[in-house]
Amino acid sequence: MDLREPLQSETVADVGYRPLVSIGTDGTAAEAVALMKLEKCGCVVVMSEGRMRGIFTERDLLKRVLHPGLGLDTPIVGLMSDDVTVARVDEPIHEVLARMYIGRLRHLPVLDGDEPVGTISIKRAIHFLADQLPQAILNLPPDPETFPATREGG
Amino acid sequence: MICPSCDHENIEGTDECENCMQPLTDLEHAAGSSPLERSLLESTLASLHPNAPIFVAPDTTVAAAVETMASRDIGCVIVGSLEDVVGIFSERDLLMRLADRYAEVSGQPVTEFMTPNPETLDVASPIAYALNRMSTGDFRHLPVTSAGQLVGIISLRDVLGFLSEWYPDLIPAP
């Protein structure tokens, strides 16, 4: 099994993505944090009038809220990134991975036309690719740690 | 054939490892497949060039750990030392365990919020194991050890780097 073919032929829709988790532009950091915790996701998309205005990630929480010591009542619009790198639902997964690699990004919002429909993570994409490989490769051995590292008695 | 469990070198075609009895037949089967699969089994974590771990002491406060993560631009810190890894503290822990009460807990020790005793992999393990752990476990960082000492951390991004080396036309390096 080679991964060239799936990287080129499988789309974002094939790989799968997380359904949209979003807050409005009138939201606060507290609302974003509550939602990210509830959904156990690393980012929220910031929306208004049906359009994406930005994205707020775990990284932004660390670097723009907690580290500078801002309160969680800070409006999300001042904390989000508004220059958003996106994935399109019908594009091949390698394009998305390339963008994630170059941009050092872990999550991209997924757009269907102009409409945000979800987010895709590097983890999801890698998991998908790992699933393409024969299980013999990934499942051997079940747990190397449980075996002695040296010859017994040696 | 090198046993993935114990690194013992066996005679080619052996059914099980002479040292630890781990079956090798599936490995032999897998090793006969594509170059990518062979590389996943034969290249070790060392070839991913694990990032040097950044340590904080167990009595470090949450605020100081956050300061380290932000200023070093990293997603996690190792709590403890080279020889004694006590835990790992990541952006995910920040979000899930304390972000909504940060002001209250920022002066508390990071040990109260870290993930204790993280899973580790030996630097001589094949990349396939890391791929397996990262895609089945719910973590994006994996501490890497050598002779019991922590030598680095690999992330999902490093796995992406491996794919980039294989398919530079599809996933170009930055």
- SS3 sequence, chain B? CECCCCCCECCCCCCECCCCCCECHHHHHHHCCCHHHHHHHHCEHHHHCCECCCEECCCCEHHHHHHHHHHHCCCEEEEECCCCEEEEEEHHHHHHHHHHHHHHHCCCEHHHCCEECCCCEECCCEHHHHHHHHHHCCCCEEEEEECCEEEEEEEHHHHHHHHHHHCCCCCCCC
Residue A152 lies in a domain: no
Domain that holds residue A72: 4-133
Lowest mean pLDDT among A19-28, A120-129, B14-23, B52-61: B14-23
Tell me whether residue A154 is in a domain: no
Give A-chain residues touching B161 at CB under 8 angstroms.
Answer: 101
Kindly state whether B149 is in contact with chain A, defined as any CB-CB distance less than 8 angstroms.
Answer: no
Is a pLDDT exceeding 80 seen at residue B138?
A: no
pLDDT at A149: 42
Whether the predicted pLDDT of A152 surpasses 50: no
How much is the average pLDDT of B27-53? 82
pLDDT for B31 equals 54
Are residues A59 and B75, on separate chains, in Cβ contact within 8 Å? yes
Interface with chain B: mutation pick from A11, A33, A66, highest number of B CBs within 10 Å = A66
Residue B110 token pair: 């990071």
Whether residue A142 lies inside any domain: the answer is no
Domain range list for chain B? 1-32, 55-116
Q: Which residue of A has its CA nearest to B174?
A: A102
User: Which residue of B39, B68, B102 is the best one to mutate when testing the A interface, meaning the one whose CB has the most A CBs within 10 A?
Assistant: B102
Q: What is the pLDDT of residue A144?
A: 46
A139 within a domain of the structure (yes/no) = no
Kindly list the residues from chain B whose CB atom is less than 8 angstroms away from the CB atom of residue A98. Answer: 170-172
Query: pLDDT by residue (tens digit) across A49-88?
Result: 999 999 999 999 999 999 999 999 999 999 999 999 999 9
Task: Tell me what the pLDDT averaged over chain A comes to.
Answer: 90
What pLDDT sits at residue B133?
86
- Total number of domains constituting chain A: 1
- The fraction of chain A above a pLDDT of 90, given in percent, is 82
Taking the CA atoms of residue A129, residue A101, residue A10 and residue A84 in that order, the dihedral angle to the nearest 10 degrees is 130
Q: Which residue has the higher pLDDT, A149 or A87?
A: A87
pLDDT tens digits, residue range B119-131?
899 999 999 989 8
Q: Which of A23-27, B25-29, B115-119 is predicted with the least confidence, judged by mean pLDDT?
A: B25-29
| Superfamily name and number for B55-116 | CBS-domain (3.10.580.10)
**Mean pLDDT throughout A38-45?**
95
Q: What one-character DSSP code corresponds to residue A106?
A: S
Within a domain: residue A22?
yes
Q: Can you tell me the mean pLDDT for A110-123?
A: 95
Give the pLDDT band of residue B16 (cuts 50, 70, 90): confident
Model confidence pLDDT, tens digit, residues B63-110: 999 999 999 999 999 999 988 899 999 999 999 999 999 999 999 999
Backbone angles phi, psi at A57, to 5 degrees: -120, 170
Complex prediction ipTM: 0.86
pLDDT (0 to 100) of residue B17: 78
The answer, for B159 touching chain A at a CB cutoff of 8 Å, is yes
Substitution target in A85, A140, A151 with the highest count of B β-carbons within 10 Å is: A140
Average pLDDT value for residue range A31-35: 98
**CATH number of A112's domain:** 3.10.580.10
Domain presence at residue A104: yes
B122 Cβ under 8 Å from any chain A Cβ: yes
